[in-house]
Chain A
Amino acid sequence: MSATGHRVARRLLLGGAQTAAVVLLVFAATEALPGDAAVALAGDQPDPARIEAVRAAMHLDRPPLERLLVWTAGLLHGDLGVSLTSGRPVAAALADGFGPTLLLAVPTVLLLVPAGIGLGVLAARREGGAVDRVVSAVLLSLYAVPEFALGALLVTVFALRLGWFPPTAVGYGTELASHPAALVLPVLALLARPVCSLARLVRAGMLDSLASPYVAQARRCGLSRTRVRYAHALPNALAPAAQQLARTVDWLLCGVVVVEALFVVPGLGTVLMNAVAERDLPTVQGLAVVFGLVTVLLNLGADLVTHRLAPRTEVAA
């Protein structure tokens, strides 16, 4: 038990270090600006007033260490800084984009787990069988395809040729929730990669479990196939999948940015890309900290869950 506690403590420590790394890395972006940061950010309108405004907004006249401390203290209070272009707090922009992104993310995550596990179990029912070959081929093929290319093809086929769904979310604005048809293609494009990776892991885990001595023993005891498969083999197959679930969050974050750009959904990804286009560094930094911390926390959670599911396996850092 003390070994377990030790390992959990180490993992928590790593989580803390990762949090600090995200904050430092995001802060370092200001230092990476070439020459005078204020001049670099003023960009297209380099008049002295604008440069002064940027300098004041980002406290660039103070030493970096002091700025880091002030910025970190602000983060602890939920103050993410002030946008250079609109002058609004970054937290407000974040709140604006939160709804549409949640509308994309919630169905995606809700479908991801059953679809991934379902496909993995389905393929593992008979290794090398027709179902396994077809499912595995599709999973392998879609695994590395960028969302924007897949999304563009989905739009061409299902929105323009067949006319089943609207091609973009343009015109729905804040009432996106009442037009579920507009969400089908974005969610599909977003789901493709994570589902494939999850299902492949579940399939591999199920094949390993089904070939193990304890499953053979369970069969010898006369337990039904269903019970062996779902009550004995599946829980052990889920441990690596739980970890992968957190890794796919990285993909979902990337995916949300791309899918929102492709389908013109006014969510966090759009806010982020607009800020990147306008070189609004404080907004990008604020969003990056939030995205980064969400990833760190989910990875931490997944590793702890994995540890519960399969205590004997080493918890990957």
Chain B
Amino acid sequence: MAVAVARSRRGLKRIVVGRPGGAARGRGARRFAPGLLVVGVPLLIALAGPLFAGDAGPRGTSLTTGAGHPLGTDFTGRDVFREVLLGGRSVVTVALAATALTYAVALPVGFVCALTRRAWLEEVLMRPLDVLLAVPSLLVVLLVATAVQPGPARLATVVALVGIPDAARIVRAAGAEAASRPAVEALRMQGEGWVRLALGYVGRAVARPLAADIGVRLTGAVYLVATAAFLGVGVAPDAADWAVMVDRNRTGLSVQPWATVVPALLIVALTMGGNLLVDAALARPHRPEKNR
């Protein structure tokens, strides 16, 4: 897929040389196409799948293929196709909630640090986060899971907390770069208020890198939530969840591969497509040719 990006990018570079105006727009849209295609299938199934799942039919024999079930049956005899339709929602919603929560904390903290003139305030806010950077993320999730058996809401909170130090650092770095520009000094001298300065100028200047970083966080959250679910954290042991399906059905991998392979492929596509989108967003549209 990404080969196609590189190829189209290269082809378009030639067009850009010829007709700069019209090609830039087309390039912006086409850059995102492969990522959107790859991420679209699992995302569509995750969000719209539950609407089409229908009622749970009678349970059949465990781990069979065919016989009225397009993808066979799972380890408890449920229809795999229906489970696949239902199983994406938990991963996607928990990851989305976690990312939103991470940014709800990281954005104000990072902005205050980037814009403040008081060095001690920055130290007080950022140093504790630096300290927490070194703690392995899955370890925190497992530790919390042992103390309080978490549901989806708690899992989202923990995944969000794990992401805060890194996100705050990135917000601060992006904001500090924008806040040191001459335009900000000029606005300050004009007596513009903090809010207009922070939201009106710096906020707009960092929107693009932060959008890409939100994509990075989201892919990371999907990774962590799916991995936790695979290890049995934050989900019921027979939950309709792609990661749980991979875990529970892999004992029957040799007789009924679909029950494991289909959810595994969907998770792979979700993370892979997210990554391709982030990469497309990070590639600057008007990058000057390197003179080498």
Contact = CB atoms under 8 A, between A and B. Distances in A.
Given A18-B131, A292-B139, A317-B133, A281 B147 contact: yes
B64 interface: no
B57 to A, nearest CB: 26
A258 B230 contact: yes
Given A33-B148, A153-B268, A160-B254, A143 B135 contact: no
A250 B137 contact: yes
B137 A254 contact: yes
B136 interface: yes
Contact of B144 (A21, A29, A145): A29
Nearest to B251: A168
Interface stretch (A99-107, A229-237, A272-280): A272-280
Which of A146, A148, A210, A276 has the most CB atoms of chain B within a 10 A radius of its CB?
A146
A295 B142 contact: no
Number of contact residues on B: which range applies? Answer: 35 or more
Given A128-B10, A133-B6, A149 B130 contact: no
A284 B257 CA distance: 34
Interface stretch (B79-87, B96-104, B219-227): B219-227
Nearest to B261: A156
B65 interface: no
Contacts of B275: 140-141, 143-144
Contacts of B231: 257-258, 261, 273, 276
B247 interface: yes
A265 B136 CA distance: 21
A26 B268 CA distance: 32
Contacts of B211: none
B271 interface: yes
Interface in A264-317: 272-273, 275-277, 279-281, 284-285, 288, 291-292, 295-296, 299, 317
Contacts, number: 176
Nearest to A279: B146
Nearest to B291: A211
Contacts of B233: 276
A14 interface: yes
Contact of A144 (B136, B232, B265, B272): B272
Q: Chain A interface: which size bin?
A: 35 or more
The A interface, classified by DSSP as helix, strand, loop or mixed, is helix
Which of B138, B148, B219 counts the most chain A CB atoms within 10 A?
Answer: B138
Contacts of B243: 146, 148-149
Contacts of A133: 3, 6-7
B246 A284 contact: no
Contacts of A317: 130, 133
Interface string B236-258: 00000001001100100110010
Contacts of B146: 29, 275-276, 279-281, 284
A156 B147 CA distance: 35
Given A141-B276, A156-B260, A160-B257, A146 B131 contact: no
11 contacts: A25-B143, A127-B292, A140-B275, A141-B272, A144-B222, A144-B272, A149-B271, A262-B250, A273-B142, A273-B232, A288-B142
